[in-house]
Amino acid sequence: MSFDADGLPTSVLAAPEPRPLTSLVQTGGPQLCAEVRGASAAAGTAVQIGVCNGGTSQQWSLGNDGTVHAMGGCLTEGGTANAASVTLEACNGSGAQKWQPGSAPGSLANLASGLCLADPAGSTSAGTQLIIWTCQDDTSQNWAGASAGTLPVATAVLPLALDRGTLPTVASPGDVNSPDGSPDANPDLYAVSPTGQYREYPGKAAVNGIAQFTGSTVLGNLDRPADRWNLTDTADEFNGSAALSLHAPAAFVTDTARGTVLGLDGTTGYADTGAPAALTGETASMTVSAWVKLRNLTANSTFVSQSDTAGQANGFQLYYSATAHAWAFNRANDDGTTGSFSAVYGPSTGSNSAQTTTWTHLTGVYDGAGKTLSLYVNGHLAATGAYTGSDWNAGGNLQIGRRLYQGAYGEYANAAISDVELYPSSLTPEGVAALDNQPPVPIRLS
């Protein structure tokens, strides 16, 4: 692989093609393969014999640097004497992880010990851990699947342990950074975990045409909503089963600043889903956000809430309080008709106070660990307070434009609403600030 002055590749390595290491110890029954125990990518996991199934834990790539890879780790001998166990470890380039074809067909010899990968005593019992043993022409050391077979061809592999389960998304935009922060003509690698952790591997000089990288650095988290209703139509961008139903006189209208939005007139119009969209239990963190533009300040207007199943209360409410003359975020303290709730309110004066004809971005954050509510206005923290209620979950529909209180719906929004988002976590202040965009983006770094 070679790179131009900007660190972009001028040639591309072919991706390794993982293949099974198939044993010959059992020819009269199901074939046996070398596999990572329990399909676990954790360092120190045993490599064992198992019935061949084509699974990820049985797929191995032989690198032309002598390493043998599976699930983001490297095949490693645990010593240099006969019967030393074999495990999967983080790739480190040591001699214990260097292998080459042995003198016998289908055998793999370790460069450090000179011993071969072996199925102890030719065991046919699934779960038997593999070892190293004096090299010999024996079925217990043949991993080619045939008496005269050959091992998979060694190919170029990157010197990184990136397992698909931990880091399913990996990409390189070329030369973006270096250990000292400036471009250095070496390509950099970026990976994202299933939980949204964003990790950078700065590049360094290639060795024998193979890209090299320094240790990784966690840059932050990509916060992706579980649900997002643009409100240009009824669709949920991230959850196909959570489309909205519109109830007259709710209608999509055109706004000069935001284009198509949901228009509500404060009478009976609203939109709802056919199922709950957020967990609202006492320990269940969540975040809700919306762009809103009030039409008047004389009555309460609810922008987003989620009802219970008993028709008595809502689990949360993002709204305008006419009494406080302020934006507000609350949670009902119990699933009943007591009317008790915990709430936080925004400022009643100043540029972030409630006003008409102006688009405002509101974010309500509930932290289940600390049992606190926080309200952000235009990306700025406006208030934080404690949740003092009981542990209950609202399992009813998500509502846009009304709330459920003491057994009755009301506080219909007299407002335009756009871009409602729900997150199954409590966003950090940086994450909330990143939401305050116009137009908004679906994936953000915090």
Q: What is the pLDDT at residue 208?
A: 63
Q: What is the pLDDT at residue 186?
A: 78
Mean pLDDT of 427-432: 85
Q: What is the pLDDT at residue 446?
A: 34
Give yes or no for residue 439 having a pLDDT over 50: no
**Which residues make beta-bridge pairs with 364?**
288, 375
pLDDT, tens digit (0-9, with 9 covering 90-100), for 285-306: 999 999 999 999 999 999 999 9
Query: Which residues are within 8 A (CB) of 296 and not within 5 positions of it... i.e. 6 or more apart?
Result: 266, 356, 414
Kind plus residue range of the DSSP H or E element containing 435: helix 429-435
Q: What is the pLDDT at residue 444?
A: 36
Mean pLDDT of 28-50: 92
pLDDT, tens digit (0-9, with 9 covering 90-100), for 9-20: 565 556 667 889
Residue 37: what residue type?
R
CA-closest candidate to residue 280, choices 307, 312, 310, 243:
307
Q: What is the pLDDT at residue 218?
A: 73
Give yes or no for residue 38 having a pLDDT over 80: yes
CA-closest candidate to residue 215, choices 203, 226, 223:
203
pLDDT, tens digit (0-9, with 9 covering 90-100), for 142-183: 999 887 778 888 876 666 656 555 666 676 777 766 656 667
Give yes or no for residue 376 having a pLDDT over 60: yes
